[in-house]
A and B are shown apart, each in its own frame.
Chain A
Amino acid sequence: MSAIIDPAALDRPNSYIGKSVPRPNLPKLVEGRGQYVDDVVLPRMVHVAFVRCPHAHALIKRIDAKDALAVPGVLRVFTGQDLAVVCDPWVAVLVHLAGMKSAPQYPLPLVRATWHGEAVVAVVADTRALAEDGVSRVLVDYDPLPAVADMETALAPGTPLIHPELGDNLCFQRINESGDVAAAFKAAHKIVEATFHTGRHTGVTLEPRSILADYNKGSGKLVVHHSTQAPHMMQGVFAKQLRMAEGDVRVICVDVGGSFGIKVHVYPDEVATVAIAKLMGRPVKFIADRLESFGSDIHARDHRIHGKMAVDAEGRITAIDIDDLTGIGPYSVYPRTSAIEGNQVINLVGGPYDFANYRAKTTVVLQNKTPTCQYRAVGHPIAVTVTEGLVDLAAEALGMDPITFRLKNLMRDDSYPRTSPAGMKFEGLSHIKSLGRLMDMIDYPALRAEQDAARAKGIYRGIGFAAFIELTNPSPFMYGIGGARISAQDGCSVRIDPDGSVVAATGVTEQGQGTEGIIRQIVAEAVGVAVGAVRVITGDTQNTPYGGGTWACRGAGIGGEAALQAGLATRAAALEVASAMLQAHADTLDIVDGNIVDRATAIIRMPLSELTRIVYFRGDTLPPGLPRELMQTRHFITKEYPFAFTNGIQACWLEVDVETGLIKLLKHWVVEDCGRIINPLLVDEQVRGGVVQGIGGALYEHCAYSPEGQLLVGSMADYLVPMAAEMPDIEVGHIETPTRESLLGAKGAGEAGTAGAPAAIMNAINDALRPLDAQVLAQPFSPERILQALGKVPMRG
């Protein structure tokens, strides 16, 4: 374990860590000069579109492509059988999730289609429009089969089996238990109990999933331009499924138009595109359109959770008991699997609180709906909703203010390191300080007074809180130990070029969070040059060190530390050369603003560009044995803790129109502790974006299905995403508890907003409705659900 970086020691001309330095990517993006996958055009490029299954479950009896092939411009039609010739299926299980099972999945199904929206046939044509013309003329003869739509009955006897060879529709089940839950409930002063539903969501990245695969039959090399979060992982996947050497596959992603976990999975239609490129020997482009995105991008968060909490007479939580059920679609998604979300739920429930007895069960079932998998803040919003919902119910049952109750039960800031009842190891958190900071920001008594005054006028306002923990900087304990080739380490190479400028190549990737910005800041500071002198290379498996990419909030914590270490090593290497050139001890020299300086006096001894001129062009003048390695690579992986947990608390202030059920968000506050903040501007905007994504799920977003398993949302007019007019201003405050696992001390910040927002909103709505004896626990909190809770409209169906 290294010592925490001392910010004071780094407060020098090039101290960028902790400052709001603008991102280097933005000048091009604001002029529309980015390069997203659809902007790449290659010679002989063709387009693929897919025939998608209109049924939830159906036998594919016959495929007739005659009419499609007759469309001028349509070149080829591929079925599952055609692609299986060059492409192997995959099975998404992790061995550390004991007993987990799923079925082999092909790029296009061979016999049965298992969800509404599954790609069944691929049509390749000169343009996307012609490919769609072809799609509309392919005749598929389906034999509809009974579908498993309702997760509640997926395991019931008599329910059809989606994959008969698995024996049942159970993908995974786990019980996480510690202490004596039964005894605690027996001894409880009060018990509160509720059933929560979190709606099915999808990511709706503004840039749809995009891939352009280019297979060169001559060289045997495959280049894939891919809108992805994990280029190295995808390189491995494409190589393995297409039976190629990993070295023959290169994955490039320049700009990515949003990802949020949507673009870290293996999608059958994308693998199909690559397989087709290999078969046709020419570049093939697939840009998912919005219609097909709704049925083929992963969904998430479809959970039903029964929760129970026991409290003693002093108002202390004594036990939590959770029963979580989630439906994940017909296949677990490769390679992260679809069991992780449920697993996270039972690892995270109760996370901020000090209590001893815990039991949580997750049951992950297969069903005929779009597959679900990891989406921003995986499991967190669900766990936080359940925990914070129960916390408010308990406070109410005790007649206690929700803040008083939380203060009584939150883990003390001086109680770390410790392990939670769910088995999570915490290195250092700041719940109490965070709550204090929040209280400074919101003026709680004034809000309560305003609430009372409004109520007197028949206006229902509420304030809701949600404390949370967030899992960041994952170690191999997340996926690697389960056998998945998902890298928890990441690397960075830093080099000084002949002109004295610095290039950093990193395995973490940029999707808008500001990865390139923070890597640039860290490397500039570590080497001792201006930020403008650093260029960052990301998103190219051929030119960056092997790494896991960007997910689970690891960019800053893992990628940033690798960059810091590589930068410091490069600086040391340069100083070693400088010491020989200047006949001074390396310890007496330093690099500041691109100059070699005398450490004590700050007098400039020579510009870095002079050192590089000598190293690169006049190496003959240096001592023969002198190392001159102006490029250094470092890798980083966390070792002490499986995850670096962060924490925080949110508050939401809103008004419920009790006549219409519409909610007006008045204000939202977040205090979060992501350890060392590298760039406050970026962290705050990650938090705000995350909160709004959480608001989306809480109020609007819902992948609605018919009881037969038909997806009912087909457009952005049906699937409501949060838009500017309804969003509140969000105030963000910080506490900094750096991790001691790294010199940098950074943890992740990308998911905190999404983790806590839905719970804060739910609690605020229920706070507003309390005098009317109404309560909502099922997301999205739509006008209809509010009106039903108020008894103004009967329940549906």
Chain B
Amino acid sequence: MTTHSITVTVNGESVRRAVQARLHLIDFLRGDLGLMGSHVACEHGVCGACTVRVDGAIVRGCLVLAASLDGASVETIEGVSDRGEIRDLQDAFIARNAAQCGFCTPGMLMCAADLLGSNAQPTRAEIREHISGNYCRCTGYQAIVDAIETTALKRVSSDAGGAKP
């Protein structure tokens, strides 16, 4: 059993750990760092519950080896929450009841934040397409689409409002 020493920036903090070669990113976050917000639900890349950011881009955490992340920067739901980066999106999820059991929610939020970062005014179809790799058994998706759409609209209108003198 080989272990690898890695230094990774997780939610802005540098951590150094020895990890087993086969350990995937989510088991590393949960098991080694106690960051339980990232979930695994299929461990074969299909459900999206494990969506986290590596070097700014969303990935399936279950399909990334922790050992391969020496020098990388990882952000999880805990990090983006603590920084307040997606407060508006989270509030919209709460107001719209876009989370039921909440198991898909961290991955769904990471995926939604990714969309809003690259497309400020997505259509409903574009929202549905972007989250089409994130499985939610509870909501039927509509509330999630609504919450993302509302957040986008609010961001655009507050940007416009902010530009005025």
Contacts and interface: CB of A to CB of B under 8 A. Distances in A.
Interface centre among B35, B49, B97, B101 (most CB of A within 10 A): B101
A608 B43 CA distance: 51
Interface in B134-165: 134-145
A401 B47 CA distance: 42
Contacts of A4: none
Interface stretch (B2-10, B53-61, B65-73, B75-83): B75-83
Contact of B102 (A34, A72, A205, A724): A34
Contacts of B20: 129
Contact of A25 (B44, B102, B141): B102
A205 B137 contact: yes
A32 B76 contact: yes
Contacts of A35: 36
A259 B102 CA distance: 12
Given A290-B42, A715-B46, A730-B140, A22 B128 contact: no
Interface string A708-738: 0000000111000101110101100000000
A3 B95 CA distance: 33
B28 interface: no
Interface in B1-57: 1, 20, 22-23, 30, 35-39, 41-44, 46-47, 49
A413 interface: no
A688 B142 contact: yes
B119 to A, nearest CB: 15
Interface string B72-107: 000011100100000000100111110111111110
Prevailing SS type, chain A contact patch = loop
Contacts of A26: 93-94, 97, 99, 102
Contacts of A689: 100, 137-140
A729 B132 CA distance: 15
Contacts of A204: 135, 137
Interface stretch (A145-153, A377-385, A511-519): A511-519
A735 to B, nearest CB: 21
Interface string A23-47: 1011101111111101100000000
Interface string B115-139: 0000000001001110111111111
A681 interface: yes
B32 to A, nearest CB: 12
B101 A256 contact: yes
B129 A725 contact: yes
Contacts of A717: 44, 46
B137 A685 contact: no
Contacts of B44: 290, 715-717
Given A258-B103, A723-B132, A208 B41 contact: yes
A258 B138 contact: yes
Contact of A727 (B37, B100, B128): B128
Contact of A729 (B1, B46, B131, B142): B142
B102 A716 contact: no
Contacts of A513: 100
Contacts of A727: 128, 140-142
B37 A730 contact: no
A95 to B, nearest CB: 34
Interface in A1-59: 22-23, 25-27, 29-36, 38-39
Task: Classify chain B: how many residues form its interface, as a range.
Answer: 35 or more
Interface string A248-262: 000000011111100
Contact of B137 (A27, A260, A681, A691): A260
A363 interface: no
A34 B49 CA distance: 14
B134 A724 contact: yes
Interface in A118-134: 129
A255 B97 contact: no
Contacts of A730: 140, 142
Interface string A688-711: 111111000000000000000000
Nearest to B93: A30
Interface centre among A25, A33, A257 (most CB of B within 10 A): A257
A31 B78 contact: yes
A531 interface: no
A682 B81 CA distance: 25
A682 B97 contact: yes
A464 B103 CA distance: 33
A32 B42 contact: no
A366 B124 CA distance: 46
A512 B93 contact: no
Nearest to B37: A32
Nearest to A517: B97
B102 to A, nearest CB: 3
A39 B36 contact: yes
Interface string A472-512: 00000000000000000000000000000000000000011
Nearest to B44: A715
A420 B46 CA distance: 45
A258 B100 CA distance: 8
Given A32-B36, A32-B106, A512-B102, A725 B132 contact: yes
A30 B128 contact: no
A493 B145 CA distance: 38
A446 interface: no
A206 B104 CA distance: 7
A206 B43 CA distance: 12
Contacts of B127: 724
Contacts of A34: 102-103
Nearest to A696: B137
B94 A512 contact: no
Nearest to A203: B137
Contacts of A289: 43
B137 A693 contact: yes
Contacts of B96: 681
Contact of A692 (B35, B129, B140): B140
Given A29-B102, A129-B22, A716-B44, A724 B144 contact: yes
Given A23-B97, A26-B93, A685 B36 contact: no
B90 A31 contact: yes
Given A204-B135, A512-B102, 10 more contacts: A26-B94, A26-B99, A32-B38, A32-B78, A39-B30, A206-B103, A206-B135, A255-B102, A716-B44, A724-B134
13 contacts: A30-B93, A30-B94, A30-B105, A32-B76, A38-B36, A72-B1, A129-B23, A208-B41, A685-B97, A688-B143, A715-B42, A717-B44, A724-B131
The list of the 6 closest CB pairs from A to B, nearest first, reads A32-B37, A29-B102, A512-B101, A257-B103, A512-B100, A692-B140
Interface of A: 22-23, 25-27, 29-36, 38-39, 72, 129, 203-208, 255-260, 289-290, 511-514, 681-682, 685, 688-693, 715-717, 721, 723-725, 727, 729-730, 753
